[in-house]
Amino acid sequence: MPALPPLPLPPALPGKPPRSRRPGPARAPARPRARARRAGRALALAGLCTALTTALTACGAGLEEQAPGGKGGLVVGSAGFTESQIVAELYAGVLSKAGFRASVKKVKNRELYEPELEKGRIDVVPEYAATLAEFLNAKAHGPDADPVASPNADRTLQALRRLAEPRGLKVLEAGRAVDQNAFAVSRDYAAKHHLKTLTDLGKSKQRITVAAGDECETRPFCRPGLEKTYGIDVRGIDPKGVGTAQSKQAVKDGKDQLVLTTTTDATLDQFGLVLLEDDKRLQNADNIVPVVNAKDAGDAKVARALDRLTRVLTTEDLTELNRKVDRDRLKPHDVAEQYLSRKGLV
Q: Does position 117 have pLDDT exceeding 80, yes or no?
A: yes
Residue 3 pLDDT:
45
Least confident of 35-49, 224-238, 259-273, 279-293: 35-49
Q: Does position 19 have pLDDT exceeding 50, yes or no?
A: no
Q: Does position 82 have pLDDT exceeding 60, yes or no?
A: yes
- Average pLDDT over the chain, rounded to an integer: 86
Which residue from 333, 342, 338, 334 is spatially nearest to 88, judged by alpha carbons?
333
Share of the chain above pLDDT 90, in %: 71
Which residue from 13, 289, 275, 17 is spatially nearest to 130, judged by alpha carbons?
289
Answering whether pTM is above 0.85, one says no
pLDDT tens-digit series, residues 305-342? 999 999 999 999 999 999 999 889 999 999 999 999 99
Residue type, 127: E
Centroid of chain to Cα 68? 19
DSSP 12: P
Residue 33 pLDDT:
56
pLDDT tens-digit series, residues 152-206? 899 999 999 999 999 999 999 999 999 998 999 999 999 999 999 999 999 999 9
Task: Band the pLDDT of 110: cuts 50, 70, 90.
Answer: very high
Helix, strand counts (H, E) of the chain: 13, 10
Q: Does position 69 have pLDDT exceeding 80, yes or no?
A: no
Residue 5 pLDDT:
45
Q: Does position 236 have pLDDT exceeding 60, yes or no?
A: yes
Gap between the Cα atoms of 111 and 75, Å rounded: 17
Gap between the Cα atoms of 202 and 93, Å rounded: 44
Residue 62 pLDDT:
41
Q: Which domains does the chain have, with CATH numbers?
A: 74-178+285-342 (3.40.190.10), 181-276 (3.40.190.120)
Residue type, 174: A
Residue 146 pLDDT:
93
Burial letters for 148-174: b for 16+ Cβ neighbours within 10 Å, e otherwise? bbeeebeebbebbbebbeeebbbbbeb
Q: Does position 293 have pLDDT exceeding 90, yes or no?
A: yes
Task: Band the pLDDT of 42: cuts 50, 70, 90.
Answer: low
Residue 326 pLDDT:
87
Task: Specify the higher pLDDT residue, 118 or 143.
Answer: 118
Q: How far is CA 195 from CA 46, 184, 256, in A?
A: 78, 10, 16
